Every structure is written in C-alpha cells, then in structure tokens.
Amino acid sequence: MSLPSEGTAAPPRRQSLVRRLLPYTVALLALGWVLRATNLHELKRAVTHAPIGWFVVVSAVMLVLNCAADTFAMRSVFGWFGCRVPFVDLFIVRASTYLLAVVNYHVGQAAIIGYLYRARRVPFLRATGWILFIIGINVGTLFLIGSAGAAQADGELAILRLVPVICAVGVVVYAALLVWKPRFLASRSLFAPLFEMGVVGHIKGVLVRLPHIGVLLVWHYVSLRMFGVEVGPGEALLYLPAYFAVASLPINVNGLGVAQVVAIAFFSRYVAVPADVVDPKQVHDLQVAGVTAYSLATSGVSILLQLCLGLLCVRRGTQLGLAPVSDTAPVATAESLPAPAPDAAEQVSAVSS
C-alpha cells in the first residue's frame, strides 16, 4: 500500500485560496474598468468642487445613525429569540465590529457570534443561526426593494432585469421550505432559528430592518447631491436599493468593485452638466466622473469613519465580551452552556492585527 503523497491536501488549499482571492480579483478588474473609462482630470475636478468638509460631517452623523438603526434591528431579533441585550451595549459591540469588518466582513460577523457565545451564553451553532437569519434578512430586503430599480436597468446592465424574477422565485421557494420544515434542516441547530421564525418572523425581520435601509437611502441621496448628481427622491428610492444590493455581493470589497459600474449605469444621466458643454464625449466624461467621484468618495470615507468608530468602541466592546470565534470553537458541544472567554481583548487584538 502506497503512502499518500504530501501534496494530497494541496487541491483543497488551492481552492480555498482561489475563493478568498476571487472577490478581490473581480473588484480590482471592475475598478480598473471604471478608472479606465473615467476621465481622471474630470474626476479630480468633481472631487475638488464637492463640499468635502460637509460631506465628511454628514457621513459621520449618518454612520452613527446607521449603526443605531442596525443595532435596533439586531437587538429586536435577539429579543425574539429570548436574548435581551441592552441597546447601548449592543451598539458598542456592533460599532466595534466595524473595525474588524474593514479587514474582513466575515471576521466582523464572527465577532458578534463570539460575543453571543461567550458573553451572553448562547450555544455556538444557535448564535451562528441568529446571525445567519440577520444576514439573510439584510441582503434579502435589499434585493426585494432593489428589484424595482433592477427592472428598469438597460444597456450593459440589462441582465439585472432578471433580479426581480429570481427574487420572486427565491421568496416562493424559501417560504415553502419554512412552512414545510424539512426535518433534515429544521433539526439542525444552525438552521433551527430560521424555521422558528417562520414566514411571519421573516416579515417582522424585514420591517425592523427598514429603518436601517432608510438611513442608507438618506445618506447616499445627500451624497449624490453633494457631488452634483441631481437625482430626484423618486429615482433615488428606485435605484439606490439596487445599488446597495449589488454592493452587498461578495464580488465587491468594502463597497468597491462592481458597485461602481452599477452606479455609473444608474446615475450618470442625472449629473449636472454646464449648459455650454455640448460635445457628447465631454458630456459623457463629466457624467461618469461625477458618479465615480460620489461612489469612490462615499466608500472611502465610510471605511475611514468605520475605522474611527471601531477604534473608539473596541476597548469597551472587548470589556463587554466581544471576541471572534476561534478555529477551536466547541462545535460538537454547542448545545451546552459555554464558560465566559478568558481574555477576549487579546483575541480581538490578534484578529485585528
């Protein structure tokens, strides 16, 4: 009998590496296409003409409101599952995860699972199921609301017209599963919370998520106007959710990538162009530059502000029990009550470094 070669485990490792690098590759390719299609001189002009100081101030206020609305939705879900967390404590924990999410979105979500597992004594897989429910509601709400805007897509983004159809089919199939409750899924600790919530619980989840979506809509609408994209409230309500939905896909990195391509397709027609500019190419350059400036500036400033808010809150967050889930989390004994983590601050510091 021959011994397995040392390279036996290489293919899975390579596959894992490919999965990790794929979002960055797609994002870089998309950003490269956007920058190549953008007149960099006009891009610089669009940025310098925008009220950057007020833009940063508004973004800072909206980020805090965004975190508060997100905390409200998350706290409501935890309460439905019988876990009562003080709003201020959960706000600090959620804000602290912004620091980790900038490094990697999944690390930020895992930190919340770690908080529930260690500080709130929620069984590991059950806590993961709660976060799975929250993520699903968040992304699902964006796609449901964004379907109206996606249905209006044309040109290079005409394929987005399939989004409403896919969403409708997905909702019907998922609702049927929730009603049917197949035992091989409903009996698993990871998926049990989804079936416990049922159809009505998912509708409630969407309702408590709407304030969060509303804050994002106001934030981006004001940002668009600041960069000379004179989109009306109706058009913003139509297209922004679709933009958010695309930005939430794992083919973007912190909102950078394919999201900029979609933003140009949706909003370039609304960029204010001086009346004396009549050359079609110049008009196109101004429109693309205006939307690109808005999208890149919003993503960039948001990342910086999230880092600042995370740094302000992470120390208190670790004192409250925030910690990432380690590779040695006791999944096999997830239904038992865990002991509090021994030095959560060190674990968070290790992940964030």
- Residue 174's pLDDT is what? 94
Q: Decide: residue 163, CB within 10 A, 0-12 exposed, 13-18 middle, 19+ buried.
A: buried
Model confidence at 124, in pLDDT bands (50, 70, 90)? very high
* Non-local CB neighbours of 12 within 8 Å, separated by 6+ positions: none
Question: Dmax over Cα atoms in the chain, in whole Å?
Answer: 82
- Residue 63's pLDDT is what? 96
Q: How many CB atoms are located within 10 Å of the residue 292 CB?
A: 27
Per the DSSP assignment, residues forming a β-bridge with 2 are none
Which range is least confidently modeled, 93-102, 136-145, 146-155?
A: 146-155
Greater model confidence, 315 or 254: 315
Greater model confidence, 216 or 338: 216
- Residue 344's pLDDT is what? 32
In tens, the pLDDT along 235-284 reads: 898 889 888 888 877 777 777 788 888 899 889 999 988 888 778 888 88
- Residue 331's pLDDT is what? 41
Per the DSSP assignment, residues forming a β-bridge with 256 are 253
Based on DSSP, count helices (H) and strands (E) in the chain, helices before strands: 13, 2
Structural domain boundaries in the chain: 40-123+212-352
Model confidence at 67, in pLDDT bands (50, 70, 90)? very high
Task: Judge whether residue 335 has pLDDT over 50.
Answer: no
